[in-house]
Amino acid sequence: MRKMSGLSDTTFGLVQIIERLHRHYLDVLRTELRRLGIEEINAVQALLLANIGTEEVVIRDLKDRGYYHGSNVSYNIKKLTELGYIGQERCSHDRRAIRVGLTDKGMDLCERMRELQKHLSAEMDALGLPDAKLTDAMRDLETVERCWTDFIRYGRR
C-alpha cells in the first residue's frame, strides 16, 4: 500500500478522526443509556431523538439533512414509535409525508441527554477545551462539510 503525503495525509487523518469520534460518541450514548437503565433503544435511536428535539419534522427532512439513510431512519422511527418515544401523523398538505415529534417520554430522554452534554462540556472545559475552541473547531468542520457537499452536488471543478 502506498503512503500518502502532505495535505492528503492530513485530509485522510481528518476523515479517520471524524469517523472515530462518531463511533466514540455512540459509545458515550450507549454508556449513558445503560446508566439510566434504558435498554429498549440503542445509541443511534437516542441520537435520532436528539436530532428531532423539540421540533416536529418530516421524516424526509431527516434524510435530506444527511443525518440518516432511507431504510435506517424508517426502521428506527417505526421502533421509536412502537416504544412510545415518538408520535407521528400524516401531513395535511402532502398525505405521503409523515411528520414526527417526540412524546413526553422522548422529551424526557432528550432532557437527560442535554444534561449529559452539559456534563461533557464541563469535562472538556476542565481539560483545556473551552466552548470558544469548540466553536472554532465546529466552524472549520462546517467548512469541510460544505466542501464535500459541493463535491457531491457539482463534482470536480
pLDDT tens by residue, 63-75 = 777 666 656 888 8
Q: CA 149, 135, 34: angle at the middle one, nearest 5?
A: 90
pLDDT of 139 > 80? The answer is yes
Q: What is the mean pLDDT of residues 129-154?
A: 94
Question: Do the Cβ atoms of 45 and 29 come closer than 8 Å?
Answer: no
The band of 3, judged by pLDDT with boundaries at 50, 70 and 90, is low
Distance between CA atoms of residues 98 and 81, nearest Å: 12
pLDDT in tens, 6-15: 668 899 999 9
For 89, the grid coordinates are 401523523
pLDDT at 59: 80
Neighbours of 144 (CB within 10 A): 13
Check residues 157 and 1 and name the one with the higher pLDDT: 157
Q: What is the mean pLDDT of residues 83-94?
A: 87
Crossing angle for the helix pair 104-126 and 43-52, to the nearest 10 degrees: 100
Question: Do the Cβ atoms of 53 and 71 come closer than 8 Å?
Answer: no
CATH topology of domain 8-126: Arc Repressor Mutant, subunit A (1.10.10)
What is the residue-averaged pLDDT of the chain?
89
Question: Do the Cβ atoms of 67 and 48 come closer than 8 Å?
Answer: yes
For 90, the grid coordinates are 400524516
Residue type, 42: N
pLDDT at 27: 97
pTM for the full predicted model: 0.84
Distance between CA atoms of residues 30 and 104, nearest Å: 21
The band of 40, judged by pLDDT with boundaries at 50, 70 and 90, is very high
Distance between CA atoms of residues 40 and 38, nearest Å: 6
The band of 91, judged by pLDDT with boundaries at 50, 70 and 90, is confident
Question: Do the Cβ atoms of 90 and 116 come closer than 8 Å?
Answer: no
Query: In the chain, what are the domain boundaries?
Result: 8-126
